[in-house]
Chains A and B, each alone.
Chain A
């Protein structure tokens, strides 16, 4: 009995493990090969590996980058929830696998604390010098990019000043450049049951900015709200929600566009490209010049600590310089409407490369945006405010109400 049991063990193990090994090897081969090739590419120092949280900010393809710098670009997109990309970098050693990390500003404080990124030598990035004063001089931006003890931590990738979309004719509201109030989103009778906003802490924060600007709430530091301020804002949103103000709370870009295209809302806090997308179907949407404030955001590029030991720092600097070049601006701005660190370089680049007039128009708009919208005081938001978890929890309370 003992021996036969042993035999069974032998047979069964042979059977099971062989099957397992063979099956896994055969059918998993493409996946595993892919993993191996990825690793092989990673050792080439002329390949720049970019971890990016905003798929929108990839300029369609990297052919211009590859032509102009001679490097290869390999991008990996990751979800922009701070809990997810910070974990990827801090816990999962993202720096071992990536040369540049591009993320929403505000997250860098955790990266600095975790010693995951190192300051950037701006002298090695010539285009840094020409970034408009109006961008580098913003109080919040200063904290983000510029000198903490004389250090620069990040290079701007792209940014925008967000507001909301609305239907001027239907609501009997003026068109831009005349201003419209955020009350269309939060508490206008005209849009009762026909407005919408997003579902996370950023949109709670905006409501807080609205309350501050309309004098409904005393706010200490708008750039870093306290848990009490977040709770008060949540109470306001819950009251509005129960009054039937909001049609829904969107999560993704296509939610916004379908709300607009399908006539669910008349005013919606949305991203700027959503308005263009909605108007493609013949809509009459405009993106507001807001009375109260703009939600200014920026994606910036950081250099992981590990790059300094890998010996491709020079290539990384060149890549960052390209991101501040006219080439990237002329690529991304007409495509998405977002502003780069050096929009001023784009016209010349577009002319030299024989690009169409629409590039010029888009760039002019971007420059005007820097001049007017970015000049407004409120408010730059951070991906990771001190009370991030409290703020999200309060937003969850709104959604649960």
Chain B
């Protein structure tokens, strides 16, 4: 791909119509990125089809690593991880979209907006573990919630499923991944020209129609980015499943860590290949879902007025 970009001007002009500017830096960057990053990452997939122990690998093609991965409960793990991450991503989207819309178009007080942004940013600086561990003492058997429930007589015995359970894992993710959804959606909504909304109104559309037919399509790049910003780091998160789930709810990255921890690089590579497959499938789904608006490819295309 990259090589053809630099081949000659004609090819370039055909690939990059109307904008020769930036072609050189783009193609240079692309060559470096693909050579230095994408190829090593693809090599991981290749390696997953070999055998060996630790870093000693013999070039003997096999599906052994995949068999191993699935025989250790890998399919449950994947299903569970994707289910939890997708659930939370969906909830975050439902909450974040109106919130971002309000922040971008509805909030009239600049100070409130500044403070909200600050509030959405500061948690990024904190060690994720620190934020999560606190909940253990809130939801634990002797925790604040249980003490309150016992005191009010709502329950006779402490509720044990508040922590080290799927509920706890969901709850732990909920707060932590809110800002990552709000930010990109806010960014895309704030770029929508107010004239569009006014025009929609003048043409007789009510709020709902404006939302569905004007705002949402224009905010789509932000929504897609928000889903990526939330879903991907959530799949990569280790602390919530560890501290809130107490390892009762094992998730993907904990499994990756344990495989790498014992030099099981090949099964880890197989797992990575499976994850890559899921991600690509996810993109196909997204593409299908976005087909009415021109497919995923069109989401990041230039706006044509």
A residues neighboring B (CB under 8 Å): 1-2, 5, 8-9, 12-13, 16, 79, 81-84, 86-87, 90-91, 110, 193, 199-201, 247-251, 254-255, 258, 262-264, 388-389, 391-397, 399-401
Check B264 against A401 for contact (C-beta < 8 Å): no
Contact bitstring B228-249, A, C-beta under 8 A = 1, else 0: 0000000000000011001110
B residues neighboring A (CB under 8 Å): 9, 20-25, 53-55, 68, 72-74, 76-77, 133, 136-137, 140-143, 160, 163-164, 242-243, 246-248, 250, 255, 257-265, 267
Q: Chain B residues near A262: list those with CB within 8 A.
A: 136-137, 140-143
Check B73 against A392 for contact (C-beta < 8 Å): no
Q: Chain A residues near B77: list those with CB within 8 A.
A: 400
Partner of A83, one of B68, B246, B248, B263: B263
Check B250 against A400 for contact (C-beta < 8 Å): yes
User: Nearest Cβ in chain A — how far from B255, in angstroms?
Assistant: 6
Check A200 against B258 for contact (C-beta < 8 Å): yes
Check B262 against A400 for contact (C-beta < 8 Å): no
Check B72 against A393 for contact (C-beta < 8 Å): yes
Q: Chain A residues near B21: list those with CB within 8 A.
A: 5, 8, 12
Chain A binding surface, main DSSP class: helix
With A90-B55, A248-B164, A262-B137 as contacts: A392 and B261 at CB distance below 8 Å: yes
Q: Chain B residues near A396: list those with CB within 8 A.
A: 72-73, 250, 255, 258-259
Q: Chain B residues near A391: list those with CB within 8 A.
A: 262
Check B164 against A397 for contact (C-beta < 8 Å): no
User: Nearest Cβ in chain A — how far from B98, in angstroms?
Assistant: 36
- Find the B residue at minimum CB distance from A258: B136
With A258-B133, A258-B137 as contacts: A401 and B262 at CB distance below 8 Å: no
Q: Chain B residues near A83: list those with CB within 8 A.
A: 54, 260-265
User: Nearest Cβ in chain B — how far from A377, in angstroms?
Assistant: 27
Check A249 against B54 for contact (C-beta < 8 Å): no
Q: Tell me which of B77, B163, B164, B261 has the highest count of chain A C-beta atoms within 10 A of its own C-beta.
A: B261
Pick 25 A–B contacts, CB within 8 A, sort by A.
A5-B20, A5-B21, A5-B23, A8-B21, A9-B25, A81-B261, A81-B262, A83-B54, A83-B262, A91-B55, A110-B54, A199-B247, A247-B164, A248-B164, A249-B246, A250-B246, A255-B246, A262-B141, A263-B140, A388-B263, A389-B264, A393-B72, A396-B258, A396-B259, A400-B73
Check A12 against B258 for contact (C-beta < 8 Å): no
Check A81 against B164 for contact (C-beta < 8 Å): no
Q: Chain A residues near B9: list those with CB within 8 A.
A: 2
Give bound CA distance, A396 to B75, whole Å.
Answer: 12
Q: Chain A residues near B260: list those with CB within 8 A.
A: 81, 83-84
